[in-house]
Chains A and B, each alone.
Chain A
Amino acid sequence: MSKSRPIYAPFKLDLAGKAHLIVTNQPEVPELEAALANIEIWTVQTIAPGVQAPIRDNTRAFRAVPELFTHLAHRLSRAATGLRLYAIGTESFIWDAHNIAMAAGLSATEIHLTQSGPLVRRVICTHCKTTIEDVPQNIVTCPGCGAALFVRDHFSRRLAGFMGVKVDAETPGQIPAAEVFVS
């Protein structure tokens, strides 16, 4: 069957860019060889409502991923060509960031994705279209239609998730042992 599983490169600044924005949903922040004035880093941290989120030097923290994404869309709508976006984190996060960037007019070559954090997948049930988040292994029961789904290595960038297809359609009830994702 067809596979389209993305393969990721380690984080590295794209020096052809003139401004750089790094967004991450993981606690570690990438090491930068030089502190350049045109680099910003956006992170997600636990901050109580009512407390001012810290903005320090070139870093900014958001309360949650949805808030970061709201600001990202807004920021990109005003940005000039020459910007490069880097998304570092779990697979769903980086592809959601990628899709916000594409909608704002960035091309795939101006967006750099690095996977880090738990190896969990977003799965889309082919049969009932339900989206299932944070799936850690390759067999999952769909909360929408109850089917036992096999998670194929087939990945849709548009939907930012993997394809789930009923695993026992030809052999009802016979569900193979699940395997934890190692990539």
Chain B
Amino acid sequence: MDLNLKPAETFRGDFSVRNSDAAILRFPFPFHEDRYMYAVNIEPHMRGGPTAAYDAIFDLDEHYIGECEDRALTLLDDPLRCQVLPHMMDAEWDTLELLMESLALDYPAQFTLTKNDASWHWVNRPLGLDQHFTFGDPASLPCPPFEYITRQVQGDFTLQDQRENNLFMDGGMVTSQADWSLNFDLGMSFHEWHGPVPVAHETGVFDRALAYLLRLQLGRPVRRLNWTLTANPRLDTSPENYPIWGPDKAGITPENVGTKMCLRVELQTLTRLPRSNAILFGIRGYLIRLEELVRVKKWGRRLHRVLRDLHPDIAAYKGTLPYRHIIVDYLSAFDDGAVTSAGTSPDQDLL
């Protein structure tokens, strides 16, 4: 797969990150119709989908170097953003193997993995890494295996240990989360981690989701999409740094909403791991400024309609209430009332 890497841009401070035309067209737009309702939207995770973001097992894009650098900065400031409980070492190696094999397969120009029994050789050209190590021996890597490899992949990851008919979030690399704390949630069971969602028709949804995931099969990963709105293309919107990003929202005005307000989409994958029998939960986040998104005509129309007609309870849950009218007013200029096609594809090859 082609990977046109940009030099590092920033996801904090001056927010220099911009999406190229290609990045805009491959964005995993989440709305397949002109309205949004909660739904069980799990599907098999196979290569291919409405945009190029679905083509790889673990998708990388032009922001790879910038996102890895942002992660490194976050970890320097707070090492507790990456923690794995001691009994999950098998799952750490499972993850390292899965991610290295996937990256080497999908992006051979950038990554090479050579194995000689337990002697492995990993080359990551974009980050300038050349590492010989012994698979299974943590001392042969500069840091624990899960941290080592997730520092080199875009998106957050958590490790779920399956025991007692439940899933426990017993490890994670979480530096681009939508406002939840790994340090606080580490060790929580499935229901504790998700918490009771205050929407009546959600009753039983987490029970069903858990039962489904307990039977997730090796070799049959699944995926789903989640979305929120974020002020500024900031990756680290953690509770820990809430004093830093909390004030961002207040600075949204009709003049800057197109530039500053971003649609944030998580392409979530769930993969059964072989040795540990644990589940790897990948949370691959994509940020797009509203002014970038509306260049895809269909998406501009659709997003306007979805947010305009959003159920107030859902709007409150998504944290969009305070400035929803500013966003909807801005988007209305890009909605000429034309019919939009079903599905999430952009319906145009050029912007």
Contact = CB atoms under 8 A, between A and B. Distances in A.
Q: DSSP class of A's interface residues: helix, strand, loop or mixed?
A: loop
A14 B92 CA distance: 38
B194 interface: yes
Contacts of A124: 184
A36 B28 CA distance: 64
A159 B195 contact: no
B184 A154 contact: yes
Interface stretch (A23-31, A64-72, A165-173): A165-173
A20 to B, nearest CB: 22
A22 interface: no
A157 B188 contact: yes
A149 to B, nearest CB: 11
Interface string A117-151: 00000001011010000000000000000010000
B301 to A, nearest CB: 31
B186 interface: yes
Interface string B217-245: 00000000000000000000001111100
Nearest to B166: A108
A4 B195 contact: yes
Nearest to B85: A158
Given A156-B185, A158-B187, A1 B195 contact: yes
B196 A3 contact: yes
Interface residues of B, number: 27
Contact of A166 (B188, B196, B242): B242
A41 B191 CA distance: 33
Contact of A163 (B187, B192, B239): B239
B192 A4 contact: yes
B100 to A, nearest CB: 30
A176 to B, nearest CB: 15
B135 interface: no
A1 B80 CA distance: 21
B184 A2 contact: no
Contact of A165 (B185, B239, B250): B239
B36 interface: no
Contacts of B192: 4, 157
Interface string A95-112: 000000000000110000
Given A1-B195, A127-B241, 7 more contacts: A1-B179, A3-B195, A108-B164, A127-B240, A127-B242, A147-B243, A156-B187
Interface of B: 80, 164, 179-181, 183-188, 191-197, 239-243, 246-247, 249-250
15 contacts: A1-B195, A2-B197, A4-B192, A4-B193, A126-B239, A129-B183, A156-B185, A156-B187, A156-B188, A163-B184, A163-B239, A166-B242, A170-B246, A170-B247, A170-B249
Closest 5 CB pairs of A and B: A2-B195, A169-B246, A158-B187, A4-B192, A3-B195
